[in-house]
Amino acid sequence: MTVAAAELTERESTLLASIPTGLLINGEWRSAAAGQTFTVEDPSTGKALLEIANAGASDGAAAMDAAAAAQDEWAATAPRFRAEILRKAFELVTARAEDFALLMTLEMGKPLAESRGEVKYGAEFLRWFSEEASRSFGRYSSNPEGTQQILVQKKPVGPCLLITPWNFPLAMATRKIAPAIAAGCTMVFKPANLTPLTSLLFADVLMEAGLPAGVLNVVQTTDAGGVTGPVVKDARLRKLSFTGSTAVGKRLLADASSNVLRTSMELGGNAPFLVFADADIDAAVDGAMAAKLRNMGEACTAANRFLVHESVAEEFSTKLAAKMAATTTGRGTDPETTVGPLIDAKSRAKVHALVTDAVADGARAIVGGSPSDGPGYFYPPTVLAGVEPGSRILGEEIFGPVAPIVTFKSEDEAVALANDTEYGLVAYVYTRDHNCGLRMANRIETGMMGLNAGVISNAAAPFGGVKQSGLGREGSIEGIEEYQYTQYIGFPNPNNA
């Protein structure tokens, strides 16, 4: 099916007709108070998919009221009760995997194969935190003097505001909502307005799984600041979790400071992908494809700067370009498609501006380099050789299928290039020398590193960065702790009575 000829199939229309289009507040789907709506588009065609409720400030306030009212009762529920809801949600999402995958492809554009992978990845947070819910322990001990006993317990922080981006519509929701449920926190959830449909379907599934009214409240909107700003300032809010750009994250951190909110910030990235002279080049190319083209490069974990030893740069560049050229760009529902569209016209324009700027500075496009013709927001996979250090494309998050290549001569130079950024989310290193790999882990300023691996995200691993890539961790045992605070109770040692 060509992009130009693509129309909604009967299955796609049936699925869209089943999606809730309202706001979820206190267990009920309702219209926005002002009656406003907005349209969600298919980025492969630019055509409308669905019209849904558009929350305003009063809707955000109602969602906050519901979350605050439900908090005490929800916090008092047994951990096993919360765990069973998460486990049921995992089973329901897994049973409806094809619906979730298709919906993500329609609203975000990624190929169905990638959407299916996200369903599996996103659902795993539900299963992981269903197990962590009943394993979050405190401790009991004596003080060193033996005069008192120390009792430490973990308690839910309270109502949370969760804000997710558009690029992973299911996984970003489950990665925040699942630990909040496990810890006993209620939520006001604002999904991205570009891809809210998957979140609405997921919220509906959580209700089916038995989540009580008011625990999760969903307020999609085109006026993010107008809706979330008053919620952040509400004295009843206890935590803010945000995934998105560093610029927006900084503003939210400033706003959160007025009430000293607990914050988790998963912000921008500028991941270096290092290929040393002794690397398995074929494995490095395969890893580069995964690290660069997953989600069309629209991921904070995407490899953004390819730093390649000068002795293998030509081989790596040629093989990577050949792999890029062999991809098929098209609507994600087409089984032949391996690369979908970018999310919107603005994103495509930014990607092309970065490429144009790099070429003007002397870089050479081995493959790609120009926007695709026709409807939809497509940009072909692109490899740029001869990119000069200091080029704009190396300093900004590309968020597109473009691989700029820079060469290095020594390990010290590679480290300097890798660390030449304000970001520090993830890095990728390819080398056969295990000691070199471990040195890179010690020397590169990053919260995560893939050693001879192009994809490392996992529900059991702590996801997060350093520097301006954010604060806190999501997933793993650390994930639930982001939604808890520690309480200490001291009392006389009963043995001394």
Nearest-CA neighbor of 397 among 289, 302, 473? 302
Query: Dihedrals φ, ψ of 454, to 5°?
Result: -95, -10
Contact present, 16 and 106 (Cβ < 8 Å):
yes
Query: Dihedrals φ, ψ of 268, to 5°?
Result: -70, 170
Give the whole-angstrom CA distance, residue 300 versus residue 168.
10
Contact present, 400 and 379 (Cβ < 8 Å):
yes
Output DSSP code: residue 19. S
Q: Which residues pair with 479 in a beta bridge?
A: none
The reply to whether 436 belongs to the active site is no
Instruction: Give first-to-last CA distance, the chain, whole Å.
Output: 81
Contact present, 254 and 225 (Cβ < 8 Å):
no
Contact present, 59 and 227 (Cβ < 8 Å):
yes
The reply to whether 474 belongs to the active site is no
Q: Which of 114, 124, 300, 474 is catalytic?
A: 300
Q: Which of 41, 118, 266, 482 is catalytic?
A: 266
Q: Which residues does 157 contact at the CB level (< 8 Å), separation at least 6? A: 183, 185, 238, 239, 262, 483, 484, 485
Q: Rounded to the nearest 5 degrees, what angle is found at the Cα of 208, between the Cα atoms of 27 and 65?
A: 20
Written as six digits, the tokens of 391 are 């080029």
For residue 112, give the amino acid letter.
L
User: Which active-site residues does the annotation give?
Assistant: 266, 300
